Structure formats: C-alpha cells, structure tokens
Amino acid sequence: MSVIKNYILPHPPMMIPQIGKGEEVKLESTIRAISNVMDEIAQIKPETVVIISDKAPYYSDYIHMFSKGKKSGDLSEFGAKEIDFTAEYDIKLQKNIDKIAKNFAFPGGLDKADYAKIDYATIIMLYFLAQKYVEFNIVNIGLSNLSLNDHYTMGKIIKRAADELDRKVVCIAACDTGRDADFTKEFIDILENNPNDIFKEELQDTFLQFDIAKALAMLNGTFGDLNGEKNNTLKTDVINFENPFEVGYLVASIQANQDGSSDIIVKDESKYEKEDECIKLARNAVETFLQTKDIVLAEELINGESELYKEKAAVFVSIYNNDNIRGCIGSFTPIQKDIAHEVVANAINAATRDVRFMPVTAKEIKNLSFVIDVIKKEKSVDSLEELDVKKYGVIITSKEGKKGIILPNQIQIDSVDIQLSILKKQVGLPEDAAFKVDFELTKFEIERHQ
C-alpha cells in the first residue's frame, strides 16, 4: 500500500451551518463536492489521512508536522465551540517521515513547536470526513517558505515513509486559491493539463507566493520516488470551483496513472546512452540533488551486483559545463565503503562544495559532463625520472605533513616541472623546495571514466 489518491479542498468556515447561519447556501456546490470526496475516501478506507494545511504551524525554513499522539481543536474562534475534534495521530508514520527526512538532511519533520491545538482548516476537514468515515489516524503537516521543489521532496518523503510501513494513505491539501484571479486561472489550467508544470522555472517566483501551489507540489511528490528519476504521470480532476466572495474555493483530485512515467525536468536521455555505469551514477546523483536536494544512496541508483560495490578506492569527480570546469572534488584515500558510494558523495560535493566555483544549478543539467578518476594503489617515488605526466598522478607530502595531489593527463599540464610547481604551491612550499629534502612524492595510475 501507499498513497492512493490526493485531494485539494477549501476550508471556508462559513460552510459549517453553526457559523454560516444560512449563508452557507452560497457555497452549496462546494459543500456538495466536498461531501462527494468524503464518500470516495470512505470507499478507499485509508488507514491514515495526511492533512496538509495552510493554517498549520508555518515556518520559513522548515516543514513541520504535529508531533503528538493525540491533539484536540475546535472552531471557537468562529463562534462554534461545539464543533470540536480530538484526533489520533499516526505516530509510527510521523516518526518514519521524520527519520527519512533526517537521513537526507531535509528540513522537515518533528523538530519545531506545535500549536496548542489543531488548526481550524484541519478541523473543517475532519468535520466533513467524520460524517462519512472514522476509522483512520491522521498526520498533520504545515507549509513553509521553502521552494516548490522542497515541498515536492517532502511529498516524496511521505510516500517513502508510507511505503516502508505498508500504509494505505490518502492526502488532503486544505487550502484556498486566494483572491488573485490571474493566479487562480493559471493554477487551474495547470492542474487540468499537467500539474508538474508548476515546477517550470518561469513560474517559480509567482507560484511560491501561494500556499496552494506549495501544497500541490507536496501532493505531486507523494507519487514520486526519492531517487528523483521518475514520477508517475498524474491524472487530475477539477471537481468544482467557485468564488462567491472573491476568494477561490477549489475541489480537485489527483492520482497516479499506471501507464507511464515522466521526468519533471525533461532531459534528452539518448545523449547519455553511451555513458558507463560510473558516469551514470554520478550524473543521477547530481541531477537528483539539484532537482530535489535529496542525497540519494548508491543502492537507489544502480544494481546491488555492480562491480562498483566490490572494491574500495579513492575517487575524484570532475564536472564540466560545455567543457568549462564547474567543480572537482576527491580524496587521497577512500572515505566511503566502496567506489559506488565514493562516486555519489564526491559528485554531489563537486557540484555544490568546490569553493573555487559557484555551485552548479539545475539549469545546467542538460549541459553537464563528468570525468571520474578512480585512484589505483600508490607507489613510492625514488627519482623524479620515474614520473610521467601523462601516465601518473602525483601526491606530495611536505615535511610538515601537508598533502597535495594532481591527477595525470591534465589539460595544459604537459611536463613534470609544471606538475611539481603546482604541487609545491598546494602545500605552501617555495619553488626551490627540494625533493627528498623538503617533500616526498608518491605516484599512482588512474582508471578514467568519461
């Protein structure tokens, strides 16, 4: 089991008779549509209903879930204290979402403070759902000022957590479209045609201002995979829309088609067909991180029988954009448990943490190329005549223990003298520093993938 179906539902308190006091008839079509949705949820019989609310705890840099096992709330702020609910939270699912988020260093989970009681948008969802179905627990999640891609990632984390626990889940986004008629029209057009279009770069600044767009991003993510490679094509239904009070009230459903898959960021896969497994691993790790900020495990990207799991070695990953270097990161000795994990870690670091360059951006994905050098066993150097700039990389160790490294067969490095000059600068030695007196050298060959 996993996430079966998702819904976007509005939450005007006026829909509740004790609050509307007759005015609720102006929202009759919305109320009827919500009632029909609740009938459908009752037929699905989910074990857990995830409610994403724009009135739940809202942090600028963190997507927070209510963290308790049970919490109450009412509509007393609207003069209807008698409309009250005590919700049972799915503690296991909450904790699993939190664990996965922490594993991927994602800013979401249980770490922030709850409100004293359930927010009113969630109460309104429970009011309608409880009339049709009661055998469920809930997970209550807020929104944030993080990007649409971050909200999408949170959705993928929800899916992963539900999959691991074999939970049957339905998600509800309790949000209104707001008062901006132009945004509302564009949002509904996107929802009807391709909800993943909200991730188009030209829409980011505008859509990030609207909570319903963030909620849709999270809903879309619940049909995606944490490895970032493929996301089910989505089937949507705009069930009802009205704005009698100049605020848009939308009822819609979203579910995964079972007949295909598509990438959110479209790539020409044919150009990568000739890349070997090592290059594909680096590319997929970087693309996933740039699109989702997820740090994936090697096991999610390549088969467990791969030769890359069978050897431990130091690895350097260099990234180019149209032949211009964008980053290069590696280590003198292996840090990870095997080559596959070295490639993933160093590829992401080369894209984002090489201080000599600005971080690689998602815009560059289609132009990126990779060179991966797997370092073979070091050999001691007794004479400079043993060095070959094309064949051997060199590691320098100063008398103070500082180390530097240079890879073989580098552009514009066509002599051992140039190699040594660069190495001396790396460890802070003067040009006249002497081999065997001021520093020692080891040499190594590489296995190059490009």
* Domain definitions of the chain by residue range: 3-262, 269-375, 379-449
What sign results for the dihedral spanned by CA atoms 296, 297, 299, 302?
Answer: positive
pLDDT the model gives residue 227:
54
Centroid of chain to Cα 146: 11
pLDDT the model gives residue 229:
45
**The residue type at 53:** S
pLDDT the model gives residue 231:
52
Q: Cα–Cα distance between 22 and 25 in angstroms, integer?
A: 6
User: Among 294, 285, 274, 275, which Cα is nearest to 340's?
Assistant: 285
User: Among 282, 261, 262, which Cα is nearest to 327's?
Assistant: 282
**The residue type at 251:** V
For 254, the enclosing helix (H) or strand (E) is strand 249-262
CATH topology of domain 3-262: Protocatechuate 4,5-dioxygenase; Chain B (3.40.830)
Q: What are phi and psi of 267, to 5 degrees?
A: -125, 155
Given this structure, which CATH class describes domain 269-375?
alpha beta
Quick check: do 3-262 and 269-375 share a fold? no
Helix, coil or strand: residue 378:
coil
| Contact assessment for residue 375 and residue 316, using Cβ atoms and an 8 Å cutoff | yes
Q: Cα–Cα distance between 345 and 335 in angstroms, integer?
A: 10
Centroid of chain to Cα 71: 29
pLDDT the model gives residue 266:
39
Q: H helices then E strands: how many in the chain?
A: 11, 18
**Could you tell me if residue 409 is left (phi over 0), alpha (psi between -120 and 50 degrees) or otherwise beta?**
left
pTM for the model stands at 0.60
Q: How far is CA 291 from CA 134, 154, 200, 254, 431, in A?
A: 38, 13, 12, 22, 44
| Contact assessment for residue 93 and residue 176, using Cβ atoms and an 8 Å cutoff | no
> CA triplet 198, 202, 204: central angle to 5 degrees?
55
CATH code 3.90.580.10 for 379-449: no
Strand bridging mode 403-406 / 393-398 = antiparallel
User: Among 39, 41, 64, which Cα is nearest to 54's?
Assistant: 64
Mean pLDDT by 10 residues, the chain (450 residues): 92 94 90 95 96 93 87 93 93 94 88 86 96 95 92 92 94 92 89 85 86 94 67 80 86 78 43 79 90 76 81 93 84 90 93 84 84 93 94 94 90 86 92 94 93
First to last CA, the chain: 41
Q: Cα–Cα distance between 108 and 93 in angstroms, integer?
A: 14
